[in-house]
Amino acid sequence: MSKTTSHQLEFPVNVEEGADLSNFRRVEDRRHPDPRFHYEFSLKKSWAQAADHSKHNSRFVEVPHPRFLELSRFHNSQFPNASVAVSYSIIDRDCGSAEWLDIVQTKEEFVTEKRRDTYTGFGSQSDVLATRKSESGTEVRRSLGLKDGNRVFRITCTCDQQDYGALAKTFYVVVSTFHLLSPEGEHSAEPIAEFQSANLSFAHPASWQAIQDEHTGSLSYPDQSDEQNGEASYVELFDSTSSQKNTRIVVAQQTGSAMSLDQFKTAYLKRLREFGIKPLQTNVKAIETPDSISAAYFFEVLNDNDQIESNFMIVESHGRLCLIGLITPPYSLEPISYAFNKRAFEIIRDSLIAQMNQ
């Protein structure tokens, strides 16, 4: 992800109770022929729409892929370098708007100062405060990413650093009030398929091909008998659109097993070695889940191969152990592929947790 620095910039996350908002107006944009691109937000009355956007006249924001098409831009004569802009990007693979926003900001050489991340059914969403230094000074930008179907919307509020104190509240009101007027409400940018076998089923992006490994079957623990290991299912998914052989998602399930969660983890780390990945260290984080889920842990695996990143999650519920593992090139090497792979992992994870919560 984009680098974060320690500069202390104001980052409003609410408007004081009783604050006077009478100098704000509602900006509503219905000019696009497709109602899924219609939106509104609140902005101070002193801001005016840029002349080249007085009619629907979208233009590309000139940054490398992912490209954003600008829908509108607003300026304030009191702050000549300040702007509020709305743009969008079309995606053909599903990813969170937070990851898409991070990729673009990194390409634009903005450095993240502060952020608020939210996870929704559409994926990760972020509200980010970032800066960019140049010979003429420092820019401050507050951005919001929002996804609907195959469209990622970006709302950017930008100004010179010396003007930010006067504009911080305005920028917060913009990002906090922005919403689509006719959203499609589709969570995924691509079709969703369903993997089903006798003991295991889950949803996954259709661009990933699921292959059940009937021969190796289980994640067995060497100190237990087959009966103690229980009934097992093991599935590997590969990105059918990618030539990267190391990219895969693993789904494994044990039912009726005497294995502990820690033994299940050890069995998977052994499987990673079979993939040619040597785990050096695992960082563990407990995850909040519904009451019917006994336990859930996320494991970040540090490997001896910096070309590969390995993460996995184990969920336990009613004698059922389920593992979802992601093996992918890291964000630092393949940011776009990483965003797609991470989102595929999230869709499968959410589907499995929803089933275990029934």
Banded pLDDT at 15 (limits 50, 70, 90): low
Tokens of 327: 């093996």
Q: In whole angstroms, what is the distance from residue 201 CA to residue 253 CA?
A: 10
Please say whether the dihedral angle defined by the alpha carbons of residues 283, 123, 90 and 170, taken in this order, is positive or negative: negative
Whether residue 226 has pLDDT greater than 70 = no
Whether residue 45 has pLDDT greater than 60 = yes
Task: Using alpha carbons, list the distances in angstroms from residue 139 to 69, 136, 198.
Answer: 21, 9, 57
Q: 13-22, 74-83, 134-143, 246-255: which range is least confident on average? A: 13-22
Q: Write the CATH number for 118.
A: 3.40.1000.10
* pLDDT, tens digit, 9 for 90 and up, residues 171-186: 999 999 999 999 999 9
Looking at the fold, whether 156 and 287 belong to one and the same domain comes out as no
pLDDT of res. 57: 46
Helical segments of 311-357, H only: 335-356
Q: 67-81, 145-159, 181-195, 270-284: which range is least confident on average? A: 270-284
Average pLDDT rounded to a whole number, residues 317-322: 81
Which position has the token pair 């900006």?
Answer: 27
Model confidence, pTM: 0.85
Average pLDDT rounded to a whole number, residues 289-313: 79
Instruction: Decide if 303 is inside a domain.
Output: yes
Hey, which bits of 45-110 come out as E strands?
Answer: 48-49, 59-61, 68-76, 79-90
pLDDT of res. 9: 84
3-state secondary structure of 267: helix
β-bridge partners, 88: 69, 153
Instruction: Decide if 185 is inside a domain.
Output: no
Q: In whole angstroms, what is the distance from residue 190 CA to residue 187 CA?
A: 9
Q: Write the CATH number for 221.
A: 3.40.1000
Neighbours of 240 (CB within 10 A): 10
Q: In whole angstroms, what is the distance from residue 47 CA to residue 243 CA?
A: 48
Looking at the fold, whether 71 and 123 belong to one and the same domain comes out as yes
Average pLDDT rounded to a whole number, residues 105-131: 93
Average pLDDT rounded to a whole number, residues 290-304: 76
Element of type H or E holding 173: helix 161-177
Task: Using alpha carbons, list the distances in angstroms from residue 22 to 29, 72, 157, 308, 356.
Answer: 20, 23, 20, 53, 49
Neighbours of 184 (CB within 10 A): 13
Contact 148, 91 (CB under 8 A): no
Q: In whole angstroms, what is the distance from residue 66 CA to residue 145 CA?
A: 13
Looking at the fold, whether 94 and 120 belong to one and the same domain comes out as yes
Banded pLDDT at 68 (limits 50, 70, 90): confident
Instruction: Decide if 136 is inside a domain.
Output: yes
- The helix, strand and coil proportions of the chain, stated in percent and rounded to the nearest 5, come to 20, 40, 35
Looking at the fold, whether 207 and 236 belong to one and the same domain comes out as yes
Contact 102, 1 (CB under 8 A): yes
Instruction: Decide if 271 is inside a domain.
Output: yes
pLDDT of res. 63: 45
3-state secondary structure of 206: coil
Whether residue 146 has pLDDT greater than 70 = yes
β-bridge partners, 253: 233, 322
Tokens of 132: 């960019």
pLDDT of res. 5: 42
Domain boundary (180, 200, 227) is at: 180
β-bridge partners, 157: 84, 142
Banded pLDDT at 292 (limits 50, 70, 90): low
pLDDT of res. 290: 64
Instruction: Decide if 5 is inside a domain.
Output: no
pLDDT of res. 55: 46
Domain boundary (146, 180, 214) is at: 180
12 against 247, higher pLDDT: 247
Domain boundary (156, 180, 204) is at: 180
Q: What is the DSSP letter of 67?
A: P
Instruction: Decide if 2 is inside a domain.
Output: no
* pLDDT, tens digit, 9 for 90 and up, residues 147-172: 999 999 999 999 999 999 999 999 99
Looking at the fold, whether 175 and 242 belong to one and the same domain comes out as no
Looking at the fold, whether 346 and 238 belong to one and the same domain comes out as yes
Banded pLDDT at 303 (limits 50, 70, 90): confident
Looking at the fold, whether 36 and 170 belong to one and the same domain comes out as yes
Looking at the fold, whether 265 and 322 belong to one and the same domain comes out as yes
Q: Which residues of 7-26 are buried (b: 16+ CB within 10 A; e: fewer)?
A: eebebbeeeeeeeeeeebee
Instruction: Decide if 327 is inside a domain.
Output: yes
Banded pLDDT at 133 (limits 50, 70, 90): very high
Q: List, as one string, the DSSP characters of 221-263.
A: -TTS-HHHH-EEEEEEEEETT---TT-EEEEEEEES----HHH
pLDDT of res. 150: 94
Average pLDDT rounded to a whole number, residues 316-332: 87
- Tally of structural domains, the chain: 2
* pLDDT, tens digit, 9 for 90 and up, residues 78-91: 999 999 999 999 99
Whether residue 285 has pLDDT greater than 60 = yes
Looking at the fold, whether 103 and 224 belong to one and the same domain comes out as no
Whether residue 33 has pLDDT greater than 60 = yes
Q: What is the DSSP letter of 35?
A: G
Average pLDDT rounded to a whole number, residues 57-66: 50
Name the average pLDDT for the chain: 84
Domain with 269, as residue range(s), is 192-356
pLDDT of res. 216: 43
Looking at the fold, whether 82 and 211 belong to one and the same domain comes out as no
Instruction: Decide if 16 is inside a domain.
Output: no
Rg, Å, the chain Cα set:
23
3-state secondary structure of 17: coil
3-state secondary structure of 176: helix
